[in-house]
């Protein structure tokens, strides 16, 4: 536990050796930190804005980082978020939600939904258009992006026009342990089955219902009328099959879904763009899907 606490408070330095692993932010994108007011208090965010002048308000994408709900920060997503900002020509708001085990479920969900509400309400101040709103996340962040998309529909919140789910956590129930990819990747290169169980124990309370869609979006009672989605999965990832199952469930419910399956990649490969040869093709697929949804004349979904 002490090791986890040290990791949580260790800030990733700007520039230097860290960029060799996490990737250098795209040039031409301004990155700044801010703090918004969430229901629990201050919530730090990292905002990425193209430096080039724009005639019209830009799309805006809210990003949620990975890390098993217990690790990570918005800073680790500089490469990903700056590419989206530059290539989609969008403003990106990346959220430093509260981390487990000090802040268990549903703290992260509440923070991410509050950040979505804040972004929609302050879009004009950001030079963005709230009608062209997307969400994005990897791993635990993919779970949060999927959950927030359902919440926004059910609570008549902001209309989300696109969701990018990168090797998302979609099933925390016992069903997830039956997936072939879970059984075949016990000692995952980046994420092992033991890691998954440790992170779940950090995040979940003892009485948590693992079928709650805010934990396992694949078990939501209704998956219809959700934003168009791109789902990126990795073949050497214990979470591969649950990601595929969620994409299929979205499609079965009548949603537009595209799956990008990188068979030779491990979980988390987008976080290592200089070492994972598929990182750039995966980002190109995400950007293409976002541009199609967020740059269309009327991207808002019908409720």
**3-state SS, residue 195:** helix
Residue 28 backbone dihedrals phi, psi, to 5 degrees: 85, 10
Residue 238 backbone dihedrals phi, psi, to 5 degrees: -55, -25
**Which one from 65, 240, 267, 271 is the annotated catalytic residue?**
267
Cα-Cα end-to-end distance for the chain:
44
Q: 237 catalytic, yes or no?
A: yes
**Which one from 237, 240, 242, 289 is the annotated catalytic residue?**
237
Look at residues 14, 53, 48 and name the one whose alpha carbon lies nearest to residue 29. Answer: 48
Q: 96 catalytic, yes or no?
A: no
Strand duo 29-38 + 41-50: pairing: antiparallel
Look at residues 193, 138, 206 and name the one whose alpha carbon lies nearest to residue 169. Answer: 138
Between CA 197 and CA 204, with CA 202 as vertex, the angle to 5 degrees is 90
Residue 39 backbone dihedrals phi, psi, to 5 degrees: -65, -25
**Which one from 82, 139, 149, 242 is the annotated catalytic residue?**
139
Q: 267 catalytic, yes or no?
A: yes
Give the H or E element holding residue 118: helix 107-121
How far apart, in whole angstroms, are the C-alpha atoms of residue 49 and residue 64? 17
| Rg (the chain; Cα; Å) | 18
Look at residues 79, 14, 91, 22 and name the one whose alpha carbon lies nearest to residue 52. Answer: 91
Residues assigned a catalytic role: 139, 237, 267
């Amino acid at each position: 536990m002490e090791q986890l606490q040290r990791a949580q408070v260790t800030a990733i330095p700007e520039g230097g050796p860290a960029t060799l692993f996490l990737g250098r932010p795209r040039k031409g994108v301004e990155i700044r930190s801010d703090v918004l007011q969430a229901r629990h208090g201050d919530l730090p965010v990292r905002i990425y804005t193209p430096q080039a002048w724009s005639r019209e308000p830009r799309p805006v994408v809210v990003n949620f980082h990975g890390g098993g709900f217990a690790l990570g920060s918005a800073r680790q997503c500089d490469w990903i978020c700056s590419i989206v900002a530059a290539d989609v020509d969008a403003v990106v708001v990346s959220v430093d939600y509260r981390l487990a085990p000090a802040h268990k479920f549903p703290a992260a969900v509440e923070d991410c939904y509050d950040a979505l509400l804040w972004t929609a309400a302050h879009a004009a101040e950001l030079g963005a258009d709230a009608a062209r709103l997307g969400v994005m996340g990897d791993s635990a962040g993919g779970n949060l992006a999927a959950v927030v998309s359902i919440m926004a529909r059910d609570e008549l919140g902001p209309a989300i026009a696109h969701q990018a789910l990168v090797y998302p956590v979609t099933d925390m129930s016992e069903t997830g342990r039956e997936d072939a990819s879970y059984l075949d990747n016990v000692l995952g290169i980046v994420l092992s089955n033991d890691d998954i169980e440790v992170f779940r124990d950090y995040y979940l309370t003892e009485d948590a219902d693992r079928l709650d869609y805010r934990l396992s979006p694949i078990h939501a009672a209704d998956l219809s009328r959700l934003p168009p989605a791109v789902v990126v999965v990795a073949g050497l990832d214990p979470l591969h099959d649950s990601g595929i199952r969620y994409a299929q469930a979205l499609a079965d419910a009548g949603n537009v879904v595209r799956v990008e399956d990188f068979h030779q990649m491990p979980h988390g490969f987008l976080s290592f763009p200089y070492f994972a040869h598929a990182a750039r093709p995966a980002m190109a697929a995400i950007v293409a899907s976002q541009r199609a949804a967020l740059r269309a004349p009327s991207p808002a979904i019908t409720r």
